[in-house]
């Protein structure tokens, strides 16, 4: 894959599969199902209104570009903020992200090709600890973590988590598979548009360093009142090999 259509290092996206390792600050909450249904396109169905909102720092490489961690580290690091809505497709549970904000062009383009609704943020930031910083301590009950996304001079998403206890991956709410939509409308009648619901092909998932706690979430999207809000911080790794069209 070369995108734009220039081979080699000038390509904005290297060939997949793509591998990810991320540090998350996450809130889970219940929104208004009627309002959330306006954010999630058909054929996906919104039921109870369960949502996930997160800000994360990601390290990503591909099979063809693992050496970039040393040669071009800026092509392996980015931040992301997103809101996801639990939904289903023909009864199969999953999550659809009406919007994902990212901090780099290459992540934006990669996501759009695979069916994520990505936007380029002006700024994304989140809490970062360091074990040798004398003014900081290791994660412990009562510590606060936060992250936010800014676009167009206003905060689009803000998440704050106060951790209360250590947890395990099994404590994190399950959302099912990840759904997306590859949508490229026609700009002239001579073209053919694309409007294709997809499932993101995600594998090799693993999670560690889970801490659970209380959370606050604010978003510019119309999700209704956020109820039953909980939070977590954790590390996750996974692989995305592309996306497949749904029947």
pLDDT at site 65: 79
User: What are 94's two structure tokens?
Assistant: 């999953």
CA separation for the pair 75, 136 (Å, rounded): 29
C-beta atoms surrounding 14 within 10 Å:
21
pLDDT value, residue 4: 54
Burial class (CB in 10 A: 0-12, 13-18, 19+), 41: middle
Domain membership of residue 1 (yes or no) is no
Does a structural domain hold residue 79? Answer: yes
- The rounded distance, in Å, linking the Cα atoms of 100 and 78 is 13
Contact at 8 Å (CB) between 181 and 167? no
Q: What is the pLDDT along the chain (247 residues), one digit of tens a residue?
A: 555 556 666 677 888 899 999 999 999 999 999 999 999 999 999 989 999 999 999 999 998 878 889 998 999 999 999 999 999 999 999 999 999 999 999 999 999 999 999 999 999 999 999 999 999 999 999 999 999 999 999 999 999 999 999 999 999 999 999 999 999 999 999 999 999 999 999 999 999 999 999 999 999 999 999 999 999 999 999 999 999 999 8
Asked if residue 169 is part of any domain, the answer here is yes
| Residues spanned by the domain of 142 | 8-245
Q: Given this model, what pLDDT does residue 160 score?
A: 98
CA-wise closest residue to 12 among 3, 23, 21: 3
For the record, the structure tokens of 190 come out as 């001579």
Identify the CATH number of the domain in which residue 41 sits.
2.40.400.10
The domain tally of the chain equals: 1
Rounded-to-integer distance, Cα 79 and Cα 124, Å: 6
Burial class (CB within 10 angstroms; exposed 0-12, middle 13-18, buried 19+) of 37: middle
User: Is residue 187 assigned to a domain?
Assistant: yes
pLDDT at 221: 95
- The pLDDT value given to residue 14: 82
In a domain, 207, yes or no: yes
Q: Give the per-residue pLDDT at 12.
A: 72
Residue among 80, 54, 83, 96 at smallest CA distance from 233: 54
Structure tokens belonging to residue 49: 């209104």
DSSP string covering 15-73: -S-EEEEEEEEEEEEE--HHHHHTTS-TT-EEEEEEEEEEEEEEEEEETT-TTHHHH-G
DSSP 127: -
Is residue 94 in some structural domain?
Answer: yes
pLDDT for residue 9: 64
- The answer to whether residue 2 is domain-embedded is no
3-state secondary structure of 109: helix
- Confirm whether 3 is domain-assigned: no
47 touches 54 (CB < 8 A): no
What pLDDT sits at residue 5?
A: 54
């Amino acid at each position: 894959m070369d995108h734009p259509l220039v081979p080699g290092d000038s390509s904005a996206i290297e060939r997949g599969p793509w591998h990810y390792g991320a540090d998350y600050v996450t809130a889970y909450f219940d929104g208004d199902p009627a309002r959330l249904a306006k954010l999630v396109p058909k054929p996906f169905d919104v039921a109870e209104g369960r949502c996930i909102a997160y800000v994360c720092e990601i390290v990503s490489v591909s099979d063809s570009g693992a050496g970039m961690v040393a040669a071009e580290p800026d092509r392996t690091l980015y931040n992301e903020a997103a809101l996801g809505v639990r939904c289903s497709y023909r009864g199969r549970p999953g999550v659809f992200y009406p919007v994902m904000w990212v901090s780099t062009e290459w992540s934006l383009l990669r996501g759009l090709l695979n069916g994520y609704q990505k936007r380029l943020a002006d700024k994304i930031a989140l809490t970062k600890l360091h074990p040798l910083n004398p003014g900081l301590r290791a994660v412990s009950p009562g510590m606060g973590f936060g992250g936010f996304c800014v676009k167009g001079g206003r905060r689009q998403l803000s998440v704050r988590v106060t951790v209360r206890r250590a947890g395990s991956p099994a404590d994190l709410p399950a959302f099912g598979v990840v759904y997306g939509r590859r949508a490229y409308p026609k700009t002239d009648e001579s073209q053919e548009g694309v409007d294709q619901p997809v499932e993101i092909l995600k594998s090799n998932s693993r999670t560690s360093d889970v801490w659970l706690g209380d959370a606050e979430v604010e978003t510019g999207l119309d999700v209704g009142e956020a109820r039953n809000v909980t939070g977590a911080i954790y590390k996750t790794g996974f692989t995305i090999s592309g996306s497949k069209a749904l029947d």
